[in-house]
Amino acid sequence: MANTILHEGIKKYKSADYNGALAFFLSLPESDDIDNIELAYYIGLCYAKLEHYDDALLYLEQVVTGGAELDRILQCRYVLAVIYANSGRKKLAEFELNKLLESGYKPASVYSSLAYVAWKQDDVEKSLEFYRKAIEIEPENSTALNGMGYVLACENRDLTKALSFCKRALSKQPDSAACLDSVGWVYLKLGLMEDAFKYLNQAQEKLPQNEEIAEHLRIAHEH
């Protein structure tokens, strides 16, 4: 019964209509027929996708402490870690990610997230080390491939290899603004400006308000 009630919102969530899904879930009246942990799970995920991080934390923490099944708890812990990393709470992110590693949960994704946290803490070598571990575990993990290539490009290291990593990631996620931006950024570093503009412009079309993509385009125009 609970799944039937939530079905419309889950369908919206899976089709990436996060605003619509959230509005649906929040409009549901209190009912004994609704699994409140399941509802909190989807509301938390919607808020996370919409980058309303403080709201997401409230609901995802309910799932972690509310007796959900283990896989769900681990998934929510991972989302919490990503939220902590994106909102500058890097020590909390690191704590959650290390706990997830101990549990054996999606090690390639966890190592990629640890790499991102290390990068944000200006620890380039640790970031590259974590990305390498992620790629060793899961050679086609697009997040790890893209992250590795992007960090190498930012550091002006082995740009040919950086381009290879980023292009492999883009082949896995051809509509990803992050992957398009990374490929454009590597081309910019290589001085291949026609290719740089091609990919950076595509990235900006997908995420017109993204500050990082806008900054990369600004740098490209100065060349």
Expressed in percent and rounded to 5, the helix, strand and coil fractions of the chain are 80, 0, 20
Place of tokens 């919607």: 46
Neighbours of 220 (CB within 10 A): 17
Confidence at residue 1, expressed as pLDDT on a 0 to 100 scale: 42
- Buried residues in 138-148 as b, exposed as e (16+ CB within 10 A): beebbbbbbbb
- Over 50: is that where the pLDDT of 54 sits? yes
**What is the arithmetic mean of pLDDT over 49-77?**
89
pTM: 0.80
Q: CA-to-CA distance for 210 and 216, rounded, in angstroms?
A: 10
Confidence at residue 3, expressed as pLDDT on a 0 to 100 scale: 57
Contact of 188 with 223, CB cutoff 8 Å: yes
Contacts of 111 by beta carbon, 8 Å cutoff, 6+ apart: 101, 130, 131, 133, 134, 137, 144
Contact of 100 with 110, CB cutoff 8 Å: yes
pLDDT band at 66 (very low <50, low <70, confident <90, very high): confident
**What is the arithmetic mean of pLDDT over 62-80?**
87
Q: CA-to-CA distance for 111 and 39, rounded, in angstroms?
A: 29
Contact of 110 with 116, CB cutoff 8 Å: no
What mean pLDDT value characterizes the chain?
Answer: 92
Q: What is the DSSP letter of 1?
A: -
Sign of CA dihedral 123, 124, 127, 129: negative
Q: What is the DSSP letter of 27?
A: H
CA dihedral of residues 63, 64, 68, 73 (deg, nearest 10) = 110
What is the tens place of the pLDDT at every residue in 169-211?
A: 999 999 999 999 999 999 999 999 999 999 999 999 999 989 9
